[in-house]
Amino acid sequence: MRVLLTGGAGYIGSHIAVELLDSGYEVIIVDNYSNSHPGTIENIRKITGKELISYEVDVADAAGVGRIFRENTPDAVIHLAGYKAVGESVSEPLKYYKNNLYCTITLLEAMEKHGVKQLIFSSSATVYGEQDRLPYTEDMRHGVSTNPYGSTKQMIERIIMDAAGPGALSAVILRYFNPVGAHRSGLIGESPRGIPNNLMPYVTQVATGKLPELNVFGNDYPTKDGTGVRDYIHVVDLAKGHVSALKHTAAHPGVSVFNLGTGRGYSVLEIINAFERVNGVAVPYKIAPRRAGDLPECYADPSKASLLLGWKAELSLDDMCRDSYAYARTEL
C-alpha cells in the first residue's frame, strides 16, 4: 500500500514515516521544508534501511500536487502539512488561514480527481477549546478557539466532514494532545526555530545551555501545584497511532474522530522535576505571568482509540524526558 505523507519531513511526520516503512508501507513524502530540513529524509532512510520517495513541493500548489498524484497513484493520504505556531498565528492570522486551508482543499481536490478515498488528518486538542469537564472526549463540540491556528484545525475538520459525503471518503481525524520525545536513534526529533512555543523543547534548550532559564507561565491555576496541566504523549506512540488509523480507514467509510493522548495530565513543574531526575541536569526556571488563552488543565480520554483502533500509548514520561534530551544533545 502506497501512502502520501504531507509534511513528512517535519517533527511528527518524520516519525510517522519511520513507523509506516517499518510496517511495510510504501511512503511518498511531500514537504516544502518551511519548518523542516531536507536532511531528515536521509535520516529516515538510515533508521529504517528502506527507500522512500520525496518531493519538495508546497501542498497549496495544485499543479505540483497533481503531478505527485499522477506519478505515484497513492492509495491513502496522511495530511500534516501546515503552519503550526500558535503565537505566530495570532500575529499573522491571514498567513495561517490562507496556507492551512488552501493546503487541505488542494489536497482534497487532488484526491477526488484521482479516486483516492482514504485520509488521515492531523488535528489537535486545541479544537476543544475550554470545556466544562475533563477528560476531553471525541463527542464534545468544538469549543471557542483562542487563536487562528486552532481555528484552522476546526475549519479543516468541518471541511473534511463535508467533503466525505456518502461514500466519498473514508477519513480519520486524529486529535493530538502534546507530542514530545524523539526517536531512540537520535536521528530525528523536534528542532524548533528560535525560542520554542512548546514546553519540552524549551526545557531541553535550557538544559543544554542554549537558553538561560525557563519561563513557567503562571503558578496560580486551580491545579495540583498551580501550574498548567497537559497530556504529554511520546511522538513514537503518536506515530504508531497513524498506522492503526490507516488500517481503520480501509474498513470504515465516513469520518471517525480519535484522541491520541495518554489520559494522564502532568503539570509544568512535574515535567521539570521528571526531566531533572531522569537526565541528571538542572533546569533553572522562573515564574512568569499567565499567557492569554492558556487553559488550567487539558487531558484526553483515549479509550475510543484503544477500543476501535487497538492502540494505546506505551512509552512513559521518563521515556519522553530521556529521548527529548538525548536528541537535543545531538544538536550541540
Beta carbons within 10 angstroms of residue 36's beta carbon: 19
Q: Of 83, 96, 136, 149, which is the active-site residue?
A: 149
Q: What is the pLDDT of residue 269?
A: 98
Mean pLDDT by 10 residues, the chain (332 residues): 98 98 98 95 98 98 98 97 90 96 98 97 96 96 92 98 91 97 96 81 96 96 97 98 96 95 98 98 97 90 98 98 96 78
Segment holding 240, helix H or strand E: helix 235-251
Supply 46's cell numbers: 538510515
Report the distance separating Cα 12 and Cα 238, nearest Å. Answer: 8
- Burial of residue 264 (CB within 10 Å: 0-12, 13-18, 19+) is middle
Q: What is the pLDDT of residue 196?
A: 79
Q: What is the pLDDT of residue 293?
A: 80
SS3 state of residue 229:
strand
299 in catalytic set: no
Q: In angstroms, how far is the first alpha carbon of the chain from the final one?
A: 38
Q: What is the pLDDT of residue 300?
A: 98
Q: How far is CA 31 from CA 81, 194, 236, in A?
A: 7, 21, 20
30-66 pLDDT, tens per residue? 999 998 999 999 999 999 999 999 999 999 999 999 9
Topology of the domain covering 2-181+232-260 = Rossmann fold (3.40.50)
